[in-house]
Amino acid sequence: MDVTDFPDDLVQTQAAFNATYQALAAPGPRDTTALRRRLLRLSVRLWWHPYWQTAPSVQAARCELRRLARARQAVQAA
């Protein structure tokens, strides 16, 4: 399995994590408690996703997942 063959739900969860993190880091965020709880739920889903049981190099795959999610968000924003 190639390190970039991520399941769609995993990439979507990473993208949601990134968006939630950015919303929380923005100046004057609203409802920080809800954002923090969402961030925690998403991080648990990312950490315990079944994909990591089959990944050849988990650390490299996690980095690649973050890069891929950021790249997709940049394309969607453009």
Question: How many residues are present in the chain?
Answer: 78
Contact 15, 73 (CB under 8 A): yes
Q: Could you tell me the mean pLDDT of each successive run of 10 residues in the chain, 78 residues long?
A: 78 96 94 97 97 91 94 88
Rounded distance between C-alpha atoms, residue 27 and residue 69, angstroms: 23
N- to C-terminal Cα separation, the chain: 31
pTM of the shown model: 0.88
Contact 55, 3 (CB under 8 A): yes
